[in-house]
A and B are shown apart, each in its own frame.
Chain A
Amino acid sequence: MNTNFAIVIYRVFYFLLHCVFTKFETLQAFYKSQKNKLCHEFALVNDKKHFGKLGKTPTHLTVLLGGEEPSPKDLANLILWCMAAHITFISFYDYKGSLKKHENELHLVVEKKKAATDHVIWHSHPDGAWKNGYSGRKIHVKVLSENDGKGGVVDLTKKLARTSETDISIESFDAGLREQFEFPDPELAVCCGKTFCLYGYPPWQIRVTEFLNVDSHHNITFNHFVNLLQIYAKCEQRFGK
């Protein structure tokens, strides 16, 4: 009888705990949305003023959309802000694959927003992505989906099994995967949504990536973006030492 009573008490507290937390989250979300309304954002920004003070910036920034539906307007902002911060590569990982399907919408928004001298190089099609000789600012963009994740390792394993290559090293495997992945390993990953999870992101490439979590990429503000870069700039890596 006593233990039954105890179990009821535990359950009541469990229920209350989660209810209170849900309430807290709702209030927090409301507060944030009000705050965002107050600061109007511009997509085109002055690079020197905001990015000059950062000690280091990532070469490749990757965004994990998590469970969220892609918002072309906000993703376009991220691309342009990255270009302003001299980040050369940006990739978007949408495990559900809906961004890959609707990538054209993103192309259109970016075309509208960018300056005429800016070059956005899309790596969606395997052919002809790498062109040199652009003047002005440029950024490489790639959309990833679940097939690019563990599937990449599987494909390369199959390829190696077909050849007579017997000497597999970490370096040679890395080089083999780079052919598919094209981009350098991301130094900074921004994970969107309350569930902080990799959603099957390519495992090989994230050995030393710094992971930051944001509530959502929807209506992400320029200040928030700069803040993420500032956090990254402060990260020190010891590489095992």
Chain B
Amino acid sequence: MSWIVESSLTAFQKFCVNVIKCGPIPKHVAFIMDGNRRYATKNKVQKAEGHVKGFDKLSETLQWCLELGIVEVTVYAFSIENFKRSSDEVETLMQLATEKFRKFLDEEDKIMAHGVCVRIIGNLSLLSEELQRLIAKVTLMTKDNNKAYLNVAFAYTSRDEIKNTVETIVEGVRNGSIEIDDIDEDLVSECLYTSGSPDPDIIVRTSGEMRLSDFLLWQISSSQICFSQVLWPEFSIWHLLACVFKYQRCYPNLKKVETCKVNKNERVQEFLEQLQQQRLAQLKSYI
């Protein structure tokens, strides 16, 4: 199945989407796509089959989000902790990712026409050279697209991200780019892997688990949390609509929690620009 799919909605579902669209719509939704393996066990198929179904569901969900007007989606594809799984399974997952990124590059025309910007967030140094190269290509190819954003967390944990961010900032102070007084919450936010994105409005975890499992812990401090009972491959438009509906119910409260950002001084702006350049150069070095 490809990255961009046609709408799968029935006329009635489209009607409901239009009804929900009359209220506030989140700009950014994050998903912990949990339950692929349990789905495989439940349906007596191979684990790998469950992961493939999980990817197909992702393409479908991205399409639903676009129809709802949600322009940015972040998904937890692979955690650093997942490296602890059996080598067979890790191998399968890496192969699936390689295959899907290759497919992505093959679909260049379609993706560029849709204006999708894809970013991979995570500790890329933990990945194979082949995957690094593919990820760099995908990111660089789509970096100027601005109609829809997809962030894929791969070899990611939030603690690892925060730790790397702290290292970056401490390094910046040491070499004199910034001063200690420049360090604040905004600076940390701007140095995370997700610096280009607004914080998610909703975080969805499927399969009935009620944990955040080291995903975007910094970024979801004022997001609506939705724990959905359904296994990821069985996630439907109704589950998505239910999450958006809950968001609409809580919208006034959520807006109260959000903090506004203060203007940054020139020194910090320059530091952040340099950081972006460094990250681009790092990606280019993978090709």
Chain A positions within 8 Å of B, measured between CB atoms, are 6, 10-11, 13-15, 17-18, 21, 67, 95, 149-151, 153-154, 156-158, 160-162, 168-170, 173-174, 191, 193-201, 203-204, 206-213, 235, 237, 239-241
Known A-B contacts A150-B221, A161-B169, A199-B257; the reply to A194 vs B250 at CB < 8 A is yes
B166 is an interface residue with CB less than 8 A from chain A? yes
What's the least CB distance linking A143 to chain B, in Å? 19
User: Residues of B contacting A201 with CB < 8 Å?
Assistant: 221
Chain B positions within 8 Å of A, measured between CB atoms, are 15, 18-23, 79-85, 157-160, 162-163, 166-167, 169-170, 173-174, 180, 183-185, 188, 209-214, 217-218, 220-227, 245-246, 248-250, 253-254, 256-257, 259
B contact face: mostly helix, strand, loop, or mixed: helix
What 5 A-B pairs come out closest when comparing CB atoms? A240-B81, A14-B22, A203-B217, A161-B173, A195-B253
**Total A-B pairs, Cβ < 8 A:** 152
Known A-B contacts A161-B174, A211-B212; the reply to A95 vs B257 at CB < 8 A is yes
In the bound complex, do residue B253 and residue A168 qualify as a contact, i.e. CB atoms below 8 Å apart? no
In the bound complex, do residue A203 and residue B170 qualify as a contact, i.e. CB atoms below 8 Å apart? no
Q: Provide the bound-state CA to CA distance between A9 and B108, in Å.
A: 39
User: Residues of A contacting B220 with CB < 8 Å?
Assistant: 198
User: Residues of A contacting B249 with CB < 8 Å?
Assistant: 18, 21, 194
* Closest chain B residue, CB of each to CB of A196: B225
In the bound complex, do residue A208 and residue B188 qualify as a contact, i.e. CB atoms below 8 Å apart? no
In the bound complex, do residue B170 and residue A239 qualify as a contact, i.e. CB atoms below 8 Å apart? no
Known A-B contacts A14-B22, A160-B170; the reply to A204 vs B257 at CB < 8 A is no
In the bound complex, do residue B222 and residue A206 qualify as a contact, i.e. CB atoms below 8 Å apart? no
Q: Provide the bound-state CA to CA distance between A210 and B227, in Å.
A: 11
In the bound complex, do residue A168 and residue B166 qualify as a contact, i.e. CB atoms below 8 Å apart? yes
